[in-house]
Each structure stands twice: as C-alpha cells, then as structure tokens.
Structure 1
C-alpha cells in the first residue's frame, strides 16, 4: 500500500479562510521601491512650484515699491531703485541674482525686477521678471 504524500496547506483562520497576508510576504519592499521615486519627485515639484510663485510675488512687490519711490513729485530714478533694493533686502531669500531697473519719462515710471527663483531641483533655473508702472506726480491745470 502506497502512502499518499502529505500536502502542507496554510492553516485556516477562525473564519475558515487561509490568512491572506501569508501570500503577500515580501511584496512591501518592492512596492515601496517602485512608488518612492515618483512620490519624492512629486513632493519636490510641489515645493518648487511654491518657491517660484513666492519669487514672483517678491519681484512684483519690489517693482511696485520702486515705482512708488520714483513717481513722487521731483523724485528721481535713483530713489525708486533704492526703495526697490531696500524691499528686496528685507524680503529674504526668495529671489537670487536680482536686478532692478527703473525708468522715468515725463508722465510715467516703470520698474522691472528680474532674478532667479530658489531651486530645490538641481539643474533647473527659473528666471523671474516682473514690471510695475504708474503715472508721475506732477502739477496739472484743471
């Protein structure tokens, strides 16, 4: 009489089913390795987007300050540039390699602030350029 080979089966749980976690042993590290890089890239992209918008906000505010400084009655271009540079120095590190250009005609002042947004992704650079303009304050006849 031949003996039947014994078959090892997973032990049923109390509900009568085999434990589903026994079949998935070792799959977590593989799943993590596949999903980790895209999740990190997505996180860095979200942070970088925030930094670019922050740099745009700083550049626009500095340009507005430059216009406000240069548009006053008998004011100068240098006053507008000084005011914009002063704002940029107090704004912190949101805009690198910044340049301020203020032009003034007889009726209008225009300020342009250009710089580089701070990056967390190496190899990428975002150039930010924002302008503001306004009328020159001057006496007029009614």
Structure 2
C-alpha cells in the first residue's frame, strides 16, 4: 500500500532551485543600481568642473582658456577615475559671457561596455569695469 510522503519530504530541494533562479536577477539588479550611482556621480563631477571653470574664467583679466584649464583640473581631481575620456570646450563663449562644457564617460562595471556619456555646461557673465554711462 502507498503512503503519502510527509509535507517536509515533498518540498525537499525546492529552495536551492528558487535561489538559483532568483540569484542572477538580484545580482543584475544590484549592478544596475551601482551603475546608476556611478553615472550620477560622474554627471555631478562634470557639472562641478564646469561651474569651477566658469568661476575661474569669468574673473576680471582671465579668459576662456583659464576657465577651461581650471575645469580640466577640477574634473581630474574630483573624478577619481570614475569620469574618463574627459574633454572641455569653451564653444559658445563671447566677450561678455563665458560658457564651459565638460564631457566624458562614466566608468562601466561591465568590461567591454563603453560607459554612459556624461555632459554638463555652465555659463556666466564675464566681469569687466564699467563707467557710470554704461549702466
């Protein structure tokens, strides 16, 4: 005569199978979260470098080249290797207004993937002396 197995015997081995199915999904989700934070940090670095460049380039007697140099220095110092292939541009700058754009790529956790492109711009008026008639 056949006897039904105990409930504990029927479920034996089901937990490792569930873990084997869910574990890769959980790992991919964690990778996606970390990658999103890396991209957000790289964007923050680019924005800060652009603001630093504008701040340096808009001072009285400074030029767009001074601002670009400061932006490069700030991107290298703040990036810590998380913002790669950085380029700084002063396209759009005029005699009265400076504009600095910092572009690069956020480092990727997956080898072989190029990384996410990151770009940020900042602009501001150039400081200059004026006379009472210029107001």
Query: Could you tell me how far apart the structure 2 residues matched to 1:71 and 1:112 are?
Result: 14
Runs (5+) with no aligned partner, structure 2? none
User: SS of the counterpart of 1:65?
Assistant: helix
User: SS of the counterpart of 2:12?
Assistant: coil
What do you get for the CA RMSD once the two structures are aligned?
Answer: 1.6
Corresponding position: 1:102 with 2:121: no
Of 109-118 and 22-31, more deviation after overlay is shown by 22-31
The answer (yes or no) to whether the contact 1:48–1:121 under 8 Å persists in 2 is no
Q: TM-score, normalised by structure 1?
A: 0.83
Runs (5+) with no aligned partner, structure 1? 11-17
User: SS of the counterpart of 2:120?
Assistant: strand
User: SS of the counterpart of 1:83?
Assistant: helix
Equivalence for 2:100: 111
Q: TM-score, normalised by structure 2?
A: 0.87
Corresponding position: 1:61 with 2:28: no
Query: Could you tell me how far apart the structure 1 residues matched to 2:52 and 2:63 are?
Result: 13
The answer (yes or no) to whether the contact 1:51–1:117 under 8 Å persists in 2 is yes
Equivalence for 2:81: 93
Query: Could you tell me how far apart the structure 2 residues matched to 1:139 and 1:128 are?
Result: 36
Q: Which runs of 4+ in 1 moved over 6 A?
A: none
Shift of 1:105: 1.2
Show the 5 A alignment for 1:1-142: 5=1, 7-8=2-3, 10=5, 18=6, 20-91=7-78, 92-103=80-91, 104-122=93-111, 123-140=113-130, 141-142=134-135
Structure with a larger share of its residues in helix? 2
